[in-house]
Amino acid sequence: MNQSYLSIGEMARINNTTVPTLRLYDSLGLLKPCYTDPQTRYRYYDIKQNARLDLIQYMKELGMELKEIQALLASEDLLKIEGVLISKREQTLENIERLKIQRDAIDRAIDSIERYRKSPSRGTLSLEYIPARRIYSMETDINFYDHDIDTYELILKQLKMKLLDHNVPPVYYCNAGTLLKKADLLEMRFVSHKIFVFVDEHFPLKGELETVENGMYACIYLDDFDSEREYAARLLAHCREQGYEICGDYICEVLTEFNVFDQEKRPMFLRLQVPVSFQK
């Protein structure tokens, strides 16, 4: 028998694979033993078949299925193999983007939990620098301030469906906010038809984003959806007492909403905020 022949066990060992794997490749026609002993019926591989096995393992690492590898190798068509590799590259890039989105969503969830654990108590007033943020918004037909939280839930669901219709990952369905024009805030007119979510750099619909400018914001914290008007009034009064000049629109931001402890309603930790400037 040729000294370059290897048993299936030896072939598996030197290629860091398993005997069942080689038998599967045999059954699929990917890599068949080159010699069968007529007496023992044992089958053997030629050591030169390592090159074929290396190629199969390499193509698997590129994300190809075994049946796909089988068809490509059987075709012996380099252009076809190149075309499949180009397609695999595009799929890999898409997967990388999805993983980046998932990673950032996990980071936001962790930050949200930490922020809730370390959050100030209800009614705390603060002056904070907030970096620029990007939002994806939706206009509504109704003024949601004229309705209760049930209507707010329906509007949130509409926003989620809009995101899903554009194939936006559901991980962006959090950290929502609503906006009130500066003039309406100053007169305590709660009229708003705009709801939005804060998004990151990987958000796919980049052409539909708006930017909330960075700056100093007067803020107040609360944990009750139904108390927003009362606390917005407190925030406005505080700004006037401190001599702050309100220089932009009011935002109600949902910092955290983990429905873990209360299954009957959406628990919210809110930060009401307005950009302010100071007299020099």
**Residue 217: other Cβ atoms inside 10 A:** 22
What pTM was computed for the model?
Answer: 0.68
Residue 195 three-state SS: strand
pLDDT tens for 228-250 read 999 999 999 999 999 999 999 99
**Bigger pLDDT: 111 vs 47:** 47
Distances (CA, A) of 73 to 8, 25, 56, 78, 185: 22, 13, 9, 9, 69
Given pLDDT bands bounded at 50, 70 and 90, which one contains residue 274?
very high
pLDDT at 267 over 80: no
- In DSSP terms, 98 is beta-bridged to none
Positive or negative, the CA dihedral 131, 133, 139, 142 is negative
Average pLDDT of the chain is 88
Question: For residues 181 and 37, which has the higher predicted lDDT (pLDDT)?
Answer: 181
3-state DSSP assignment of residue 220:
strand
Residue 263 is predicted with a pLDDT of 47
Q: Which of these, 205, 38, 36, 75, lies nearest to 137 by C-alpha position? A: 205
Is the confidence at residue 55, as pLDDT, over 70? yes
pLDDT band of residue 189 (cuts 50, 70, 90) is: very high
Query: Quick one: pLDDT at residue 125?
Result: 96
Give the Cα separation of 218 and 203 in Å (integer): 28
Do 5 and 42 meet the contact criterion of CB atoms below 8 Å apart?
no
- Has residue 74 got a pLDDT over 90? no
pLDDT of 216 = 97
Give, in order, the Cα–Cα distances in Å from 242 to each of 125, 247, 276. Answer: 12, 14, 11
Distances (CA, A) of 231 to 132, 213, 227: 24, 23, 6
